[in-house]
Amino acid sequence: MERYLGRFSEQIYAILRIVVGLAFSMHGMQKLLGLFGGQRMSPVSFFGFGGVIELVGGLLIAIGLFAGLAAFIASGEMAVAYFTQHFPHGFWPIVNKGELAVVYCFLFLYIASRGSGIWSVDRGVRRT
């Protein structure tokens, strides 16, 4: 598959960044706005601050504005989420329901290493 899909790797990465960023921002919308079945929380609470990182960071990642920095911060938030909310209930993510936190953590670490890429505000700003 690499032979066929490899020529589209930049576009596939951009789609990954956009989809993951938008999905992550929805977690922030749950916490801060009460959308998608969520409950509103104060942005100055522990979970509310996480919601700020999720909403703002997710949108920055999705549009590709400072995506590397936003993804690095989001990766750290997911590591904190895993170790504070999931790890106390068992070591394995499949047992402690922490799979999503682990996957987001490493996806964001990857995005932090690659940056915004194509189809991003950062790329558009550099061209002008």
pTM exceeding 0.85 = yes
Query: Residue 123 falls within a domain, yes or no?
Result: no
pLDDT tens-place string over residues 25-49: 999 999 999 999 999 999 999 999 9
On whether residue 8 sits in a domain, the answer given is yes
Nearest residue to 75 (alpha-carbon basis) of 39, 112, 49: 112
Q: What share of the chain in percent tops pLDDT 70?
A: 99
The answer to whether residue 67 sits within a structural domain is yes
Spatial separation of the C-alpha atoms in residues 41 and 38, rounded to whole Å: 9
Number of domains in the chain: 1
Q: What's the pLDDT tens digit per position in 63-97?
A: 999 999 999 999 999 999 999 999 999 999 999 99
Q: H or E element: which one contains 56?
A: none
The reply to whether 128 falls in a domain is no
**Is the model's pLDDT at 101 over the cut of 70?**
yes
* Confidence class for position 127, pLDDT limits 50, 70, 90: confident
In this prediction, residue 7 carries a pLDDT of 96
Residue 125: inside a domain, yes or no?
A: no
Residue 128's pLDDT band (boundaries 50, 70, 90)?
low
What would the two tokens of residue 48 be?
């509310």
Q: Find the domain containing 109 and state its range.
A: 2-115
Name the residue type at position 89. Answer: H
What is the reported pLDDT for 126?
84
